[in-house]
Structure 1
Amino acid sequence: MDLEPDDDQLDRAFLALADPVRRRIVARLSRGPATVNELAAPHAMSLQAVSKHIHVLEQAGLVTRTRDAQRRPVHLAPEALERLTAWIDRYRLIHERRFRTLDALLTPPQEQEP
């Protein structure tokens, strides 16, 4: 599994997650698969509108759909979230290292004992 997403993948994922409804859908799916009806229940919007949000998440690779008899449950794609987390962590670690270096430079030296 390639943990380094390309720019298009990152753009689609972050754009998808920029919407609060889609973030709530992702949060709900983190507890397990759900149907469109189940995902629509807490939102004051039509099934069609929720389906459009799910489609955006699918295009971003953040969710998948399967067929289970008459049901078409939506599933979270944890590997996509892992790629995003890995990308964020790489830059977080770089900046933490820089801040530690800056702290060391700005901290006055301790008085030396004779």
Structure 2
Amino acid sequence: MKERPHQRLEVWRDAMSLVEAAYRFSQDFPDTERFGLTLQIRRAAVSVSSNIAEGAARRSTLDYLRFLSIARGSLSELDTQLQISTRLGFAEMSPELNELVDCVFSKLNALIRSLSKPRTP
């Protein structure tokens, strides 16, 4: 099977790991949160990797940057929802999950910076 452009990106692979971790984090939330924080956490996590992938498939750098910006927004949303869940006592955020969020933020910001640099002909 041919590797797609987004599959070559380390940030996408880390974002996919983040999806798995977010699903595990929210799996034991109260049933009353099934359509609340559980759904929001999972949607935000999926949005990060999905927008990185969609951006990588775009033909223009400007489009790519727009989707990376959306991914970064979803990551901020996810981070907030994880913290809310912890404050409400639904789950304890592990150091590994926190580190994964930080790692994806860092790599996403680095990719955005590298694509934003003016190209010299």
Q: TM > 0.5 between the two?
A: no
Higher strand share: 1
TM-score normalized by the length of structure 2:
0.30
